[in-house]
Amino acid sequence: MDGPSRADVSKAMRWFLLLLVSLVIATNYYAFDALSSIKATLQLKLGLTSTDYGAIVSAYAFPNTFLFMAVIGGIVLDRIGIRKTGFLFTACCTLGVFFTAYGASDYFRAGGLGFAALGAFLARYSPELKMMVIGRLLFGMGAETSIVVINKVIAKWFKEAELAFAFAVNLAVARLGTAAALILSPVLIKAATGWTTAIWVAVAAMSCGLLCFVFYNVYDRRIDRGVQAAEGSLLDPDEVFRFSDIVKLLRNVPFIAISLLCVTFYAAIFPFQAFCPDFLHHKFGLSLEHSGFLTSLIIWGTIIFTPLFGWLVDKRGRRATLMLVGSAMLLVSHLVLALTSITPYVAMFVLGIAFSLVPAAMWPSVALIVDEKRLGTAYGLMTSIQNLGLFAFPILAGAITDAANPVAVTLAKIGILFPLDYTYTILMFSGLGVLGLIFAVMLRRASRAIEGVDLERPSI
């Protein structure tokens, strides 16, 4: 006898499941940004340059950029299901965050397990740096695939309901993790247990995220026993990944445009966010705590406005227009921060609104310009393309910062901090804003060429 469909699952249960997986992503984001507002302390304690710091940040994106882990993870997801894939890659995240914290720990630096082995090669780079890079590699290997898993979880339970709003709520809850990291990390480095407490708290947070996914698995399995669906799978047999799907996607001009917008937009946000507290500290003379709080305004903007914009996308449409407006706001904000001494509060909040507008319109738009049977592949490929920017631009930002501040680099090697000039670094992010605006225009024009596609129409 057939069981109930997913549409018959109670609304309260669907939103409860959404909350569980959103908390997984929130802890993921906390771990990602735990180092952002303690960059100066990290450099001072470990003797790192801005380029070294950029390498640690960039290591996260390496597996997804060059090893196509998001695409491979999508294939694994299709083969073994949501529950097993999600647990596997969330556990990988947790292990990666642990190794990152271990690399900075007093025990490791005093010659702990692995110190001698890592010191035996590439002597130019410290064992601490190499261990932290390994940790970020493992973290990145699991993080982006776990996000793809969560996207499919949302599609599983909200495909016939408030899809854009559900995506927006997921993003809002997830951004709470980033806001918490930016605010708490500079406070935690002053803890009596030592400055590395800030990094170990990230390990604890990610462990809680893994536990949340275990709880999701329990409820999801229980519900699926009475639902007409394959074990944890969103795809019909004819929807399983094929390499020919990638070829078809690469011939889809609107998909290429939205992927290019994605990589430039996120490259102008996440790498900037990793350097922003230190930028505010040096340019405006703010304390690390104040700089972390001010950077978190970007995130609070997304927490407040992303659900609202998601609701508007469902009700009113205007996806292409929202992406254009958001890209323009991003560009203006970076230019104001780079070229003026105007209080950064307004620019940071405007960045938060831009960071709400574009994702709220962008991710649901993919479903309109890509065939449904290729949607999973599209999200995986788009994520891999996005990670190209997340890998390259933290390294580039660190290199530009070091090149613009040779005196500060020399003094940092002997443990003396000197004010940094971030003008050229922020102008680089402004350049990404220009490219994002161009790709947003390209997307709007290209999507009109597809019969039956209208990014401006409402979905409800």
In the chain, the amino acid numbered 100 is T
Average pLDDT over residues 194-206: 92
Q: Which residues contact 430 (CB under 8 A, 6 or more apart)?
A: 331, 334, 335, 338
Q: Residue 21 has what pLDDT?
A: 93
Q: Residue 100 has what pLDDT?
A: 94
Both structure tokens of 425:
């670094």
Per-residue pLDDT tens digits for 277-309: 889 988 998 887 888 888 888 888 888 888 888
User: Could you tell me which of 210, 220, 243 has the C-alpha nearest to residue 94?
Assistant: 210
Per-residue pLDDT tens digits for 61-72: 888 777 777 777
Task: Please tell me which residue, 408 or 63, carries the higher pLDDT value.
Answer: 63
Q: Helix, strand, coil proportions of the chain in percent (round to 5)?
A: 80, 0, 20
Mean pLDDT check: name the lowest of 4-8, 190-194, 376-380, 446-450.
Answer: 4-8
**HSE value, Cβ hemisphere, 13 Å, CA-based, for 13:** 14
In this predicted structure, the answer to whether residue 424 has a pLDDT above a threshold of 80 is yes
pLDDT band at 39 (very low <50, low <70, confident <90, very high): confident
Q: Residue 6 has what pLDDT?
A: 53
Classify residue 84 as exposed, middle or buried by CB count within 10 Å of its CB (0-12, 13-18, 19+).
Answer: middle
Domains and CATH numbers, the chain: 16-223+236-447 (1.20.1250.20)
Q: How far apart are CA 37 and CA 49, in angstroms?
A: 15
Q: Residue 237 has what pLDDT?
A: 46
Q: Which residues contact 250 (CB under 8 A, 6 or more apart)?
A: 256
Q: Residue 78 has what pLDDT?
A: 66
Element (H, E) at 252: none
Q: Residue 90 has what pLDDT?
A: 94
Q: Spell out the long-range contacts of 234-241 with Cβ–Cβ below 8 A and sequence spacing 24 or more.
A: 234/82, 234/152, 234/155, 234/156, 234/376, 235/78, 235/373, 235/376, 236/373, 238/373, 239/78, 239/372, 239/373, 239/376, 240/78, 240/79, 241/74, 241/75, 241/78, 241/376, 241/377
Q: DSSP letter string over 40-61? A: HHHHHHHT--HHHHHHHHHHTT
pLDDT band at 430 (very low <50, low <70, confident <90, very high): very high
119 to 126, 253, 369, 389, 393: CA distances (angstroms): 7, 48, 50, 30, 27
Average pLDDT over residues 148-174: 80
Question: CB neighbours (10 Å) of residue 403?
Answer: 13
pTM of the model as a whole? 0.75
Mean pLDDT rounded to a whole number for the chain: 83
In this predicted structure, the answer to whether residue 27 has a pLDDT above a threshold of 90 is yes
Phi-psi domain of 457 (left: phi exceeds 0; alpha: psi -120 through 50; beta: other)? beta
In this predicted structure, the answer to whether residue 168 has a pLDDT above a threshold of 60 is yes
In this predicted structure, the answer to whether residue 406 has a pLDDT above a threshold of 90 is no
pLDDT band at 4 (very low <50, low <70, confident <90, very high): very low
Q: How far apart are CA 275 and CA 54, in angstroms?
A: 9
Residue pair 25/345 in contact (Cβ under 8 Å)? The answer is no
Both structure tokens of 19:
């909350």
Question: CB neighbours (10 Å) of residue 304?
Answer: 15
Average pLDDT over residues 224-251: 59
Residue pair 311/364 in contact (Cβ under 8 Å)? The answer is no
